[in-house]
Amino acid sequence: MVEETVLRPADFIAPLFVIDGQGAPEPVASMPGVSRLNISDLVKECRALHKLGVSAVALFPKLDAKLKDAEGTRALEEDGLILRAIRAVKKAVPSLVIMTDIALDPYTTHGHDGVLNAAGDEVENDRTVGILCRMAVLHARAGVDLVAPSDMMDGRVGAIRAALDEAGHQATGIMAYSAKFNSAYYGPFRDAVGSAQAAGTRLLSKATYQLDPANRRESLIEATLDVAEGADIVMVKPAGPYLDIIREVRDAVQTPLAAYQVSGEYAQIHAAAKLGWLDYARCRNESLLAIKRAGADLILTYFAKEMARELRK
Residue from 229, 105, 220, 209 nearest 156 by CA: 229
Give the C-alpha separation, 205 to 196, whole Å.
11
Enclosing H/E stretch for 308 = helix 304-311
Give the C-alpha separation, 299 to 33, whole Å.
18
Give the C-alpha separation, 74 to 120, whole Å.
20
Residue 291 phi/psi, 5-degree rounding, is: -65, -45
Give the C-alpha separation, 94 to 87, whole Å.
10
Please tell me which residue in 90, 206, 237, 305 is annotated as part of the active site. Answer: 237
Across 120-136, b (16+ Cβ under 10 Å) vs e yields eeebebeebbebbbebb
**26-27 vs 56-61, strand pairing mode:** unpaired
Where does 184-297 have alpha helices with state H? Answer: 187-193, 195-199, 216-229, 243-252, 263-274, 280-294
Three-state DSSP class for residue 233: strand
Instruction: Examine the residue annotation and report whether 313 is marked as an active-site residue of this protein.
Output: no
Peptide bond into 149 cis (omega under 30): no
C-alpha dihedral over 85, 236, 275, 32, to 10 degrees?
A: 0
Which residues are 59's β-sheet partners? 16, 100
Instruction: Examine the residue annotation and report whether 62 is marked as an active-site residue of this protein.
Output: no
DSSP conformation class of 292: H
Please tell me which residue in 68, 90, 180, 292 is annotated as part of the active site. Answer: 180
Give the active site residues.
180, 237
